[in-house]
Amino acid sequence: MLFRRLIGAGIVASATMLCCATNAAADPPNCSAGDLAGVMSGVNAGMATYLFTHPEVNDFFTGLKGKDRDQMRAETVAYLDANPRVRDELAGVRQPAADFRERCDAAMPDGLMG
C-alpha cells in the first residue's frame, strides 16, 4: 500500500513538474512576476524622483486627489497636452514598463500619467 502511494505521488509530482516546466519555457525570459516587480519598482522610484524635482508637476498631480476617475483623466490629458515636455519626460520615466509590456505580452493598465 505504501509503495502504491509513493508511486502515485511520484507520478503526480512528475506531471506537475513537467506541466510547470512547459509553461515556464513558453514564457519569454525576464518576464516573471519578480521581473515585473523589479521593473515597476524602478519606474515608481523614477516617478517619485521626477515629481520631487519638478514641484509644479507634483502639485498638479497632488491636486487631483479627491476627484473622480473621469475628472482625473480629463484634467491629466489636458495638462499633458498643454505641457508636451512634461508628457514626454513622464513617458521616458515609464518606458521600462512599456518595454516590459511589449516584450512579455503583458496586459498592464495604463496609468493617468502617460
| Cell numbers at 9, concatenated | 505521488
pTM of the predicted structure, to 2 decimals: 0.69
pLDDT at 111: 57
What confidence tier does 84 reach under pLDDT thresholds 50, 70, 90?
very high
> Which pLDDT tens digit goes with each residue over 32-46?
999 999 999 999 999
Radius of gyration of the chain (CA): 22
Contact between residue 71 and residue 105 where contact means Cβ atoms under 8 Å apart: no
pLDDT at 28 > cutoff 60: yes
The pLDDT confidence band at residue 105, using thresholds 50, 70 and 90, is confident
Cell of 71: 475628472
**pLDDT reported for residue 113:** 54
Q: How confident is the model over 5-19, as pLDDT tens digits?
A: 444 444 444 555 545
Give the dihedral sign, CA 109/49/64/74: negative
Q: Percent of the chain scored above 90 by pLDDT?
A: 65
Mean pLDDT value across residues 87-107 = 93
- Residue 42: what pLDDT? 96
Exposure class string for 66-86: b at 16+ Cβ within 10 A, else e = eeeeeebeebbeebbeeeeeb
pLDDT tier at 2 (50, 70, 90 boundaries)?
A: very low
Cβ neighbours around 59 below 10 Å, total? 10
